[in-house]
Amino acid sequence: MNKPREDLHRAAHGDTRLPYIRAGDRAALARAITEIENELPSAQALHEACAEHVGHAHVVGITGPPGAGKSTLINALVRELLARGERVAVAAVDPSSPITGGAVLGDRVRMTDADASDRVFIRSLASRGHGGGLARTTRRVVDLLDAAGFDSVIVETVGAGQSDVDIASLADTSVVVCPPGLGDDVQAIKAGILEIADVLVVSKGDHAHAERTERDLKDMLNLRARASGRKVPVLRTVGTTGEGVGALVDALRAHAREGKGRRVVTSVHGEADAFLRRFSAEDPYQRLNGIEVVETGPGTVTLRLQVARQHLNFNGRCHGGVIFTLADSAFGMAANGYGVVAVGIDTHLTFQVAVKEGETLVARSQEVSRSKRIGVYRVDVTVGEKIVAAFTGTVFLTGHAHR
Ligand SMILES: Nc1nc2c(ncn2[C@@H]2O[C@H](COP(=O)(O)OP(=O)(O)OP(=O)(O)O)[C@@H](O)[C@H]2O)c(=O)[nH]1
Ligand SMILES: [Mg+2]
């Protein structure tokens, strides 16, 4: 229980590492990513310090089946972006080979000149976390790279939509890479993948079947566009030579300019704090129950309630509904701290220890993951050092701003 407090202390005084990272200290950046990957307590303070610096980078997700040519394409993309004078970061989420996968990509890019190599940072993320863990760390690494001042942050993941890391929720622009000859049967890459693509790339454009695959995909997308009105560009690239990659960068930029699918970025926290405190003060149900705000941070809120007679059930213990109300309030506030209306759609609460009159309940919510449309939160309800209830909740993000 001391650790979170140490974190809050650090957060309150600003994180000392971020200025170095923002000044281009690569060793500090690499260490910070390791901390995030290992989910060390110190990573939380860093994450909170990043909040006011995120939102500058264009985050591009590159996904597609294994061996589709994603890394080779990213290598060419990095060269193109460097040639345009950008600072570029790449995070490769590689379940098959956590370290060597990244090294392969790095080796290929290292061929560029010295000035350029100062402007590129490549990192492979070990997928040791399962499910939500990997999604959370990847998201935090992306936020860190964004806060570090890279113009583009490219994320490579295997799979498309169904993978642990849902690239569509992580990126401003999602690119789906389709290798040629996925068939004669393009149906193989069906709805799921096409749904998340902002840009489709037929890779290995020098391959005999590439033209055919491009045509099939265009036909399929034209049919869909007629129904949905959503136009997804299809481009052909040759990663090994860089052919078509200039046009790809143009398409990525065009998508970013349209502003569709912007990631939800954390607002400057001072405003959010004032907003959340007002939100709590104006919530009649929170007032009725005597709920007080202890602390707020990006994606996290701590609330307190002292159990009084009015909170007891027929057994003389704290009513479960009160514990739920406290946890649900922390959940709702954390999810709504970004200026976007978040609506709860699912919650689950376990009661672990009975609570007596006079005890003080503290509920601290934590963001597990947050995407364009969905946020997942966990809340621990404690009395002193004891966890008395654990809550998880999901919100739907409406995309509408709070009044
Ligand atoms: N002919 C040709 N081969 C390519 C091209 N791009 C990639 N390849 C080859 O395709 C193979 C897979 O390429 P990668 O870039 O490693 O593919 P990937 O999608 O990153 O693979 P995983 O990360 O393992 O899923 C390699 O042998 C590449 O040399 C291309 O444009 N043309
Ligand atoms: Mg790869």
CATH assignment at residue 331: 3.10.129.10
How far, in Å, from the CA of 133 to the mean position of ligand 2?
21
pLDDT band at residue 37, thresholds of 50, 70 and 90?
confident
- How large is the average pLDDT for residues 223-231? 73
Residue 380, domain member (yes or no): yes
Point out the ligand 1 atom lying closest to the alpha carbon of residue 68.
19
| In a shared domain, residues 310 and 169 | no
Q: Is 292 in the pocket of ligand 1 (CB under 6 A)?
A: no
Nearest ligand 1 atom to the CA of 96 is 24
CA of 68 relative to ligand 1 center, distance in Å: 6
Are 335 and 253 members of one domain? no
Please check whether residue 52 lies inside any domain of the structure: no
Domain count, the chain: 2
Average pLDDT of the residues of the chain: 82
Query: Relative to the CA of 94, which ligand 1 atom is closest?
Result: 23
Question: Are both 286 and 311 inside the same structural domain?
Answer: yes
Strand ranges inside 266-355, DSSP E: 292-297, 300-306, 340-351
Q: Are both 78 and 161 inside the same structural domain?
A: yes
Higher per-residue pLDDT: 54 or 142: 142
**Residue 164 clears pLDDT 50, i.e. is over it:** no
Give the model's confidence band at 101: pLDDT under 50 very low, under 70 low, under 90 confident, else very high: very low
User: Phi and psi at residue 66, in whole multiples of 5°?
Assistant: -55, 135
Give residue 176 CA to ligand 1 midpoint distance, Å: 14
Owning domain of residue 184: 57-117+156-258
327 & 369 share domain: yes
**What is the CATH number for 244?**
3.40.50.300
- Residue 97 in any domain: the answer is yes
Q: In this predicted structure, what is the pLDDT of residue 318?
A: 97
What pLDDT, in 10s, does the model give residues 105-161? 544 454 455 567 789 999 888 765 444 556 678 888 999 999 999 999 999 887 644
- The answer to whether position 303 is within a domain reads yes
CA angle, 290 as apex, 287 and 294 as ends, to 5°? 100
Task: Examine the fold and report which residue of 209, 229, 258 is the final residue of a domain before the chain moves on.
Answer: 258
| Token pair listed for 234 | 């299809």
63 with 82, same domain?
A: yes
What is the C-alpha to C-alpha distance for residues 309 and 356, in angstroms, rounded to an integer? 10
Ligand 1 pocket member 157 (CB < 6 A): no
Of 196, 231, 258, which residue constitutes the final position of a domain?
A: 258
Residue-wise pLDDT for 365-394, tens only, equals: 999 888 878 999 999 999 998 999 999 999
pLDDT of residue 135: 67
106 and 213 share a domain? yes
Ligand nearest to the CA of 102: 2
Which single residue is written with the structure tokens 């009661």? 351
DSSP string, 334-395: HHTTTSEEEEEEEEEEEE-S---TT-EEEEEEEEEEE-SSEEEEEEEEEETTEEEEEEEEEE
Question: Ligand 1 centre and the CA of 238: distance in Å?
Answer: 10
Tell which one of 70, 72, 97, 100 to mutate to probe ligand 1, the residue whose CB is within 8 A of the most ligand atoms.
Answer: 72
* 69 close to ligand 1 (CB < 6 Angstrom): yes
pLDDT in tens, 253-299: 999 887 654 454 443 455 677 778 888 888 899 999 999 999 888 78
Residue 399 has pLDDT above 70, yes or no: yes
Of 258, 284, 319, which one is at a domain's C-terminal end?
A: 258
Q: Tell me the ligand closest to 205's alpha carbon.
A: 1
pLDDT at position 1: 40
Between 218 and 245, residue with greater pLDDT: 245
Tell which atom from ligand 1 comes closest to the C-alpha of 205.
Answer: 31
Q: 298, 51 in Cβ contact below 8 A?
A: yes
Q: Are the C-beta atoms of residues 102 and 124 closer than 8 Å to each other? A: yes
What's residue 103's pLDDT? 40
Average of per-residue pLDDT across 8-18:
61
Residue 236 per-residue DSSP state = E
Give me ligand 2 centre to Cα 349, in Å: 40
Ligand nearest to the CA of 158: 1
How far is residue 389 CA from its own chain's centroid?
27
Asked if the structure places residue 180 within a domain, the reply is yes
- Same structural domain, 82 and 228: yes
Does some domain include residue 212? yes
Cβ(239) – ligand 1 distance below 6 Å: yes
Q: 13: pLDDT confidence band, cut at 50, 70 and 90?
A: very low
Q: Would the CB of 394 count as within 6 Å of ligand 1?
A: no
pLDDT greater than 70 at residue 359? yes
Nearest Cα residue to atom 14 of ligand 1: 69
Residue to mutate (ligand 1; options 71, 94, 182; most atoms within 8 A of CB):
71
Q: How far is the CA of 151 from the centre of ligand 1 (A)?
A: 25
pTM (two decimals): 0.65
Same domain, yes or no: 227 and 347? no
**Model pLDDT, residue 267:** 39
Q: Which residue has the higher pLDDT, 99 or 319?
A: 319
Edge to edge, the sheet with strand 292-297 lists 292-297, 300-306, 360-370, 374-383, 386-401, 340-351
Same structural domain, 235 and 280: no
The residue whose CA is least distant from atom 1 of ligand 1 is: 204
| CA Rg value for the chain | 23
On whether both 221 and 281 belong to a single domain, the answer is no
Whether residue 296 lies inside any domain: the answer is: yes
- Establish if 225 belongs to a structural domain: yes
pLDDT at 127: 60
**Average pLDDT score over residue span 7-31:** 77
**Number of the ligand closest to the Cα of 65:** 1
Statement to judge: residues 230 and 375 lie in one domain: no
Percent of the chain clearing pLDDT 90 (strictly above): 47
Give nearest CA residue, ligand 1 atom 28.
69
